[in-house]
Amino acid sequence: MNKSHIDEISPWRFEAPLSPDIAANLEKKEINFKELIRFCNGHINSKDDDILIIEGVGGTMVPINNKYTILQLMKSLNIPIILTIGTYLGTISHTLNAYEVLIKNDINVNSIVLNQSNENEVGMELTQNSLLNYIKNIPIHTIKRNHENNNVLDNIIKNL
């Protein structure tokens, strides 16, 4: 893949692994929210893409710039969301908070994917079973680290 192709699919990239607002500020750049929405909608409405994935860069309330968060991006795009979470200590609280914010903002949460954490992992089954006590109306998929999970993606796509 050459740099021009990467620029076509991901024009907002930064060196520092920080929230977009901070990373952009460090590089003296700005993320224009309306431009971001136009870019995403252009790909959403394109007939060229079989599957389009827009990464939410770290969570529902991550700042994109000094005015907008990922939550506003999701609301503006009005597309199904796959809430992807880890299985680390604290994830149940983080997941339930994120899920509640999404539901209260009328975001279409398609499914949840538990992605096995590398550190402080508390267990896929324990995490999934706890979440199922509170989230009953959407599927919760699991992806184990270093394991082939091809059927998980198929199941998610079927549910879109």
Each of the 160 residues of the chain gets a pLDDT tens digit; together they read: 566 688 888 899 999 999 999 999 999 999 999 999 999 999 888 877 677 788 888 889 999 999 999 999 999 999 999 999 999 999 999 999 999 999 999 999 999 999 988 888 899 999 999 999 999 999 999 888 776 666 766 777 676 6
Based on the fold, state whether residues 13 and 60 are members of the same structural domain: yes
CATH of the domain at 95: 3.40.50.300
Q: What is the pLDDT of residue 2?
A: 67
**Domain boundaries, position 30:** 1-79
End-to-end CA distance of the chain: give it in Å, rounded. Answer: 28
Q: What is the pLDDT of residue 132?
A: 97
- pTM, two decimals, is 0.85
Q: What is the pLDDT of residue 54?
A: 85
Based on the fold, state whether residues 88 and 140 are members of the same structural domain: yes
Based on the fold, state whether residues 75 and 98 are members of the same structural domain: no
Number of folded domains that form the chain: 2
- β-pair type (109-115, 81-85): parallel
Based on the fold, state whether residues 97 and 149 are members of the same structural domain: yes
Instruction: Choose the final residue of a domain: 33, 60, 79.
Output: 79
Based on the fold, state whether residues 17 and 69 are members of the same structural domain: yes
Q: What is the pLDDT of residue 120?
A: 84
CA–CA separation, 48 and 64 (whole Å): 27
Based on the fold, state whether residues 75 and 109 are members of the same structural domain: no
Q: What is the pLDDT of residue 46?
A: 82
Contacts of residue 63, defined as CB under 8 A and 6 or more positions apart, other chains included, come to 19, 20, 21, 22, 69
Based on the fold, state whether residues 74 and 16 are members of the same structural domain: yes
Burial class of residue 110, CB neighbours in 10 A (0-12, 13-18, 19+): middle
Based on the fold, state whether residues 84 and 150 are members of the same structural domain: yes
Q: What is the pLDDT of residue 45?
A: 86
Based on the fold, state whether residues 2 and 50 are members of the same structural domain: yes
Instruction: Choose the final residue of a domain: 51, 79, 107.
Output: 79
Tokens 């224009």, residue located = 32
Q: What is the pLDDT of residue 7?
A: 81
Three-state secondary structure call for residue 67: coil
Based on the fold, state whether residues 99 and 70 are members of the same structural domain: no
CA angle 132, 134, 136 (to 5 degrees): 60
